[in-house]
Amino acid sequence: MDALECIMSRRSVRKFSDREVDNETLRKIVEAARFAPSWANTQCWEFILVKDPAVKEQLSTAMPEVNQARKVLVEAPVVVAMLGRRGLSGFYQGAAATDKDDTWYMYDLGLAAQNMSLAAHALGLGSVILGLFDAAKAERILDVSAGVSLVALMPLGYPEKTPASAPPRKPLCEFIFLNTYESPWATGDQDLCFIEEGNPVG
């Protein structure tokens, strides 16, 4: 699949078929995460591939009760638990090097997660990123070590249903500026405020 097409056609998938995901496919997906850039190449990410139905069932109890995510977690053939080792990303000689303190692991996990979801999509799989759950409870279920934080859960599998259109996005004129903040980016040949939603340039 073409790279730009992959980026523009990825959708969050919440309904998976029963089809298993083989190890070779999983390996390509984790290799994609592995090759994300990271703060000073610290690679603070760690991933648990949860396939055991009992563990998925337990994990689902860490989701809010009203959240349809419980069903997604249990039904997906694989749930990737995305962890960040703390105190590495954003640090220099053992101390936080920026005003972001110890939060750069969130950024690096985002970089790796996007590589992962794009690789999955390119291989015909779907995924969704879940962040709203009781992380402390899920960390206990997964036996996560001290110094490592569970950031997100990514159910992964072959889509049974893929949303036809993307959720609407803000027009470019609302969040792209030129040279300084609040100086709009005007390209001259097009009106950046009238983009067809779900029909982007790609």
Figure out which of the listed residues 94, 188, 194, 196 binds a copy of itself, where binding follows CB under 8 A: 188
Figure out which of the listed residues 57, 161, 185, 191 binds a copy of itself, where binding follows CB under 8 A: 185
Q: Does 62 sit near a copy of itself (CB under 8 A)?
A: no
- C-alpha–C-alpha distance, residues 59 and 44, integer Å: 23
Figure out which of the listed residues 62, 121, 157, 159 binds a copy of itself, where binding follows CB under 8 A: 121
Figure out which of the listed residues 88, 122, 125, 156 binds a copy of itself, where binding follows CB under 8 A: 122
CB 109 within 8 A of CB 151: yes
Q: Output the CA torsion 129→98→40→32 (10° steps).
A: 10
Q: Which residues contact 2 (CB under 8 A, 6 or more apart)?
A: none
Tell me whether residue 18 or residue 54 sits nearer to a copy of itself (CB atom).
54
Cross-strand pairs, 126:
157
Please choose, out of 69-77, 119-127, 157-165, the segment that lies near a copy of itself by the rule CB under 8 A: 119-127
The CA-atom distances, in angstroms, between 45 and each of 16, 30, 113, 159 are 26, 11, 10, 26
The least distance separating a copy of itself from the CB of residue 189, rounded to whole angstroms, comes to 7
Q: Does 7 sit near a copy of itself (CB under 8 A)?
A: yes
